[in-house]
Amino acid sequence: MPVTLDKSLLPAAVFGGLIAAGMVGGGALIGSGVVNAQVGNRQVTVRGLAERNVVADLAVLTLSFKAANDDLPTAQTQIDRDLASVRAFLRAQGYPEDQISVGRMQVTDTRAREYGSSQNTIRYILTQSVTVRTTDVQRVATTERALNDLVRQGVQLDFAAPNYVFTRLNEIRPSMIGEATAAARSGAEQFAKDSGAPLGPIRQATQGSFEILAREDIDPEPTSLNKRVRVVATVTYQLR
C-alpha cells in the first residue's frame, strides 16, 4: 500500500513507516520498511521477497518391517523371508541394486531387564530396514502407492512417507536474489515517488537465508514432492 506523506514535512527528523507490496517475475514483494530521515542524510530501508515453485530432485524411501516370535531362530527366518520379499518388490518397481541399501537389524528381547518381564508378550522382536535413495522421484511416488502389495505378502511393514529433497538451490540462487532485490527497489521507488524525494544509490544490502518450504502450507516440507523456495533481500537506499 503506497504511503502518502505531506511534502511540507519532508525536512522533519523522521518520515514514519513504510509497507510496500508488489510483484516481480515469480517473486512477490512483501515487507516493511523504516525510514530514517535526517537533514542531508535521508534514507529508506525496504524488503523484497522472491519465491519460486520447484520439484524435489532426490527421494529417500525407507521401508521398515518386523518379525516377532518367542523362538529367536524362527523370528530370524521370518525376517530373512520378508527381506527377500522387500528386495524383490523394489526390483520389480525398477530400482537398480546400487540404489538399495539394507540397514542393520535390531533385536529386542522384551523379557530383558530394561524392557521388563511379562509372560504374556512375545519375547523376540526383530526389526529390519531397507532404504532406497534415487533421483527418480516420480518412481518413488508410484512405489509409495504400491506398498500394500508387501502387506498382502505378510510383511509387517511400518508405513512412513518418503522424504523428498531439493538439491539444486545453487542453480536458482543468483536469479532469485536478483528478483528479491528488484522487488525491494520497486517498493523504494514507489515510496520516493509518493514522498517527492528522488531515489538515490544503494547504501546497504543484506540477503536473508534461503528457505525451502512445502508448496502448500498444510503439508510438512520433508515429505512434500512439490516445494517452494523463498528469500528476502533487505536494501537501504539514499534519498536525494
Domains of the chain, by residue range, sit at 7-53+167-239, 58-165
Higher pLDDT, 12 or 163: 163
| Cα–Cα distance measured from residue 224 to residue 92, given in angstroms and rounded to the nearest whole number | 25
pLDDT reading at 79 higher than 70 = yes
> What is the mean pLDDT of the segment spanning 208-222?
93
Report the amino acid identity of residue 11.
Answer: P
User: What pLDDT is attached to residue 196?
Assistant: 85
User: What pLDDT is attached to residue 213?
Assistant: 96
User: What pLDDT is attached to residue 113?
Assistant: 65
> What is the mean pLDDT of the segment spanning 217-227?
93
Residues 6+ apart with CB under 8 A from 145: none
3-state helix, strand, coil in the chain (%, to 5): 30, 40, 30
User: What pLDDT is attached to residue 37?
Assistant: 44
> What is the mean pLDDT of the segment spanning 176-186?
94
Residue pLDDT, tens place only, 1-58: 343 334 333 333 333 333 333 333 333 333 434 444 444 568 889 999 999 999 999 9
Return the SS3 of 151: helix
Q: What is the pTM of this model?
A: 0.75
- At the topology level, CATH places domain 58-165 in Alpha-Beta Plaits (3.30.70)
- The proportion of the chain whose per-residue pLDDT surpasses 70, expressed as a percent, equals 80
Torsion sign, CA atoms 73, 74, 75, 80: positive
User: What pLDDT is attached to residue 114?
Assistant: 65
CATH class (in words) of the domain with range 7-53+167-239: alpha beta
Q: How many CB atoms lie within 10 A of CB 47?
A: 22
User: What pLDDT is attached to residue 111?
Assistant: 81
Beta bridge partners of 52: 229
> What is the mean pLDDT of the segment spanning 159-170?
94
User: What pLDDT is attached to residue 102?
Assistant: 96
